[in-house]
């Protein structure tokens, strides 16, 4: 089985993506996770460019990586400096890593315009820089910047730059599609030319400006590349880099090549989420293999087929990459969706039962009105309980009143007064909040805590409002999605109305009812277990 080296540059190239900024501690945490996953190289940063990366390499000596090699990144020496006096090269040596990656100019346009030197002088810069690093006992990876554009402009010179790095002793030559504009067929032709011209092992580094970074990386591997450079989730400058989550999964599962090892694939979804969390970026649900929607099914025909044979609409078992199948309930749902979702939630429903049709019809009616249950599975479960089991509500609302007041230049504040009943007992409570929804949430939970102490554990963790018909202006219908947590579990609920407060109330009631239902089920199970003993 062919081994492909995985070179991760999330901490350097990935951090150049818009809105991404890793702290020093973030970088250390991610490096540990990458090592645990089984990547071969972790590019920690450019120590010659900023103090954070200098500090990273100092702290990284404490990491005790078990598998990965840490690489420091930089450029060939400055045209006006000799290699022995170049601060950038010295910073690479001082970083203490056994692996150093440097990039050099391959495109004659960059040599003449960006560097302002002759083509021959650029070859000397490459040759001397690589030789200097090798003389200090380093493993040297040479990144041929803009190789594919350079080859298009002047193929002879582009190949000469590779030969210069090879002559100086580079351990790996990495061909870079730095602008991300190369079509896959053209990349293949130019890669093959390099493969024939040099004897040193070749790697590939692609960017995603044409949405081809993963495809181009895979094509290069099929043509002989033994190393793929990329980032977790495809983070990077402009449109990003090759997404290693996809590259690794494709290598292992589609090409029968070894990268991190099939046994480690089950951790790749977890790592993808972990990196997005530290990057403070929303995790894209549509990411192949690791996204929340990668194995999500919405159409009734699809779900029916998947229930019989998963391979009908899934190219792999999601568990292999640590993901899971999801069945969505919507206006496109059939009985199969509802049955699957019921089983998933531990609910009982026979497909031949008339209740199944009742649930499907109600779902379609509600989604037509603007409800969406894809991010509000707790509301679906509550709806299911009410329609199928005719479950009794834990409390009844007599009414509530909201007051929002602002005096002079001071801040506005809101107060909610609520009256409800639990088993015939009336509770009348008031609470203040930073806004009307906050005040209503606090008043509701305050009213119920007397009867249900577990309510105090609930926290509102997210609140989203979507205007469904903007042309309705202030009379537009809105959808409110609420995410709640009790410190252990997290759940979503939904409400829809022309009145923002009413929509919020619906979602709040479902959130609290869901918690009470869980607590009730837990106590009943504990009681049954105790009785059995």
Please, what are the domains in the chain?
5-278 (3.20.20.70), 296-368 (no CATH), 369-389+457-533 (3.30.160.340), 395-451 (3.30.160)
The pLDDT value given to residue 336: 60
Q: Which of 66, 65, 43, 62 is nearest to 53 (CA)?
A: 43
Distance CA(369)–CA(383), nearest Å, equals: 15
Q: Decide: 230 and 243 in contact? Cβ < 8 Å.
A: yes
E strand residue ranges, 159-244: 172-177, 202-206, 227-230
User: How is residue 497 written in tokens?
Assistant: 């109305």
- For residue 401, the SS3 value is strand
The pLDDT value given to residue 355: 72
Residues of the chain with pLDDT under 50: 331-332
Tally: H helices and E strands in the chain: 17, 16
Q: What is the per-residue burial (b if ≥16 Cβ within 10 Å, else e) of 316-346?
A: bebebbbbebbbbbbebbbbbbbbbbbeeee
Distance CA(245)–CA(276), nearest Å, equals: 12
Distance CA(137)–CA(460), nearest Å, equals: 56
Distance CA(249)–CA(238), nearest Å, equals: 24
The pLDDT value given to residue 351: 63
The pLDDT value given to residue 342: 64
Backbone angles phi, psi at 335, to 5 degrees: -60, -35
The pLDDT value given to residue 310: 65
Q: Provide the pairing of β-strand 478-485 with 459-467.
A: antiparallel
257 CB neighbour count, 10 Å cutoff: 18
Give 64's strand partners: none
Question: What is the distance of C-alpha 272 from the center of its chain?
Answer: 5
Q: Running DSSP on this structure, what letter comes out for residue 111?
A: I
User: How is residue 309 written in tokens?
Assistant: 């044979």
Location of structure tokens 């549509």:
286
Q: Running DSSP on this structure, what letter comes out for residue 115?
A: I
Q: Which of 29, 26, 35 is nearest to 6 (CA)?
A: 35
Q: Which of 174, 171, 321, 324 is nearest to 261 (CA)?
A: 321
The pLDDT value given to residue 207: 98
The H or E element spanning position 500 is: helix 500-532
The three state secondary structure string of 333-395 is CCHHHHHHHHHHCCCCCCCCCHHHHHHHHHHHHHHHCCCCCCCCHHHHHHHHHHHHCCCCCCC
Q: Kindly tell me the burial class for residue 406, based on how many C-beta atoms sit within 10 Å of its own C-beta (0-12, 13-18, 19 or more).
A: exposed
- For residue 32, the SS3 value is helix
Q: Decide: 101 and 76 in contact? Cβ < 8 Å.
A: no
Q: Provide the pairing of β-strand 413-422 with 425-433.
A: antiparallel
User: How is residue 168 written in tokens?
Assistant: 């100086």
Q: Decide: 465 and 477 in contact? Cβ < 8 Å.
A: no
Residues in the chain: 533
Q: Kindly tell me the burial class for residue 533, based on how many C-beta atoms sit within 10 Å of its own C-beta (0-12, 13-18, 19 or more).
A: exposed
């Amino acid at each position: 089985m062919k081994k492909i080296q995985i070179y991760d540059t999330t901490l350097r190239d990935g951090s150049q993506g818009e809105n991404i900024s890793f702290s020093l501690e973030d970088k250390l945490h991610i490096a540990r996770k990458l090592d645990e996953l089984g990547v071969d190289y972790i590019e920690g940063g450019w120590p010659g460019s900023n103090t954070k990366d200098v500090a990273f390499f100092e702290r990284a000596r404490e990491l005790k990586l078990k598998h990965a090699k840490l690489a420091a990144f930089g450029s060939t020496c400055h045209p006006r400096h000799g290699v022995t006096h170049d601060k950038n090269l010295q910073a690479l040596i001082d970083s203490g890593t056994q692996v150093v990656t440097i990039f050099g100019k391959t495109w004659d346009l960059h040599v003449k315009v960006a560097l302002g030197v002759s083509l021959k002088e650029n070859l000397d810069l490459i040759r001397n820089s690589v030789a200097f690093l090798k003389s200090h006992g380093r493993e040297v990876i040479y990144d041929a910047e803009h190789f594919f554009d350079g080859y298009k402009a002047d193929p002879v010179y582009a190949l000469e730059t590779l030969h210069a790095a090879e002559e100086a002793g580079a351990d790996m030559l990495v061909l870079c599609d730095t602008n991300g504009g190369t079509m896959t067929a053209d990349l293949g032709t130019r890669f093959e030319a390099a493969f024939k011209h040099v004897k040193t092992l070749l790697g590939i580094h692609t960017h995603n400006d044409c949405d081809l970074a993963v495809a181009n990386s895979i094509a290069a591997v099929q043509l002989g590349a033994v190393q793929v450079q990329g980032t977790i989730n495809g983070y990077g400058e402009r449109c990003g880099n090759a997404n290693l989550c996809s590259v690794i999964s494709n290598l292992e599962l589609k090409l029968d090549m070894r990268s991190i090892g099939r046994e480690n694939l089950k951790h790749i979804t977890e790592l993808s989420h972990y990196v997005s969390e530290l990057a403070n970026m929303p995790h894209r649900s549509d990411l192949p293999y690791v996204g929340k929607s990668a194995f999500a099914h919405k159409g009734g025909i699809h779900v029916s087929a998947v229930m019989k044979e998963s391979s009908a609409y899934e190219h792999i078992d999601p568990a292999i990459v640590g993901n899971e199948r999801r069945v969505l309930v919507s206006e496109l749902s059939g009985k199969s969706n509802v049955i699957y979702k019921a089983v998933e939630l531990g609910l009982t429903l026979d497909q031949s039962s008339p209740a199944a049709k009742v649930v499907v019809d109600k779902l379609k009616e509600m989604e037509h009105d603007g409800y969406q249950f894809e991010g509000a599975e707790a509301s679906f479960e509550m709806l299911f309980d009410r329609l199928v089991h005719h479950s009794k509500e834990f409390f009844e609302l007599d009414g509530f009143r909201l007051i929002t007041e602002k005096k002079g230049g001071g801040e506005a504040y809101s107060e909610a007064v609520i009256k409800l009943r639990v088993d015939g007992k009336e509770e009348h409570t008031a609470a203040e909040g930073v806004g009307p929804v906050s005040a209503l949430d606090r008043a509701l939970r305050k009213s119920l805590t007397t009867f249900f102490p577990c309510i105090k554990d609930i926290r509102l963790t997210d609140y989203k409002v979507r205007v469904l018909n903007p042309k309705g202006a202030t009379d537009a219908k809105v959808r409110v999605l609420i995410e709640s947590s009790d410190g252990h579990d997290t759940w979503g609920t939904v409400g829809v109305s022309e009145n923002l407060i009413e929509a919020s109330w619906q979602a709040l009631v479902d959130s609290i009812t869901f918690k009470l239902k869980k607590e009730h089920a837990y106590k009943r199970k504990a009681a049954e277990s105790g009785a059995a003993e």
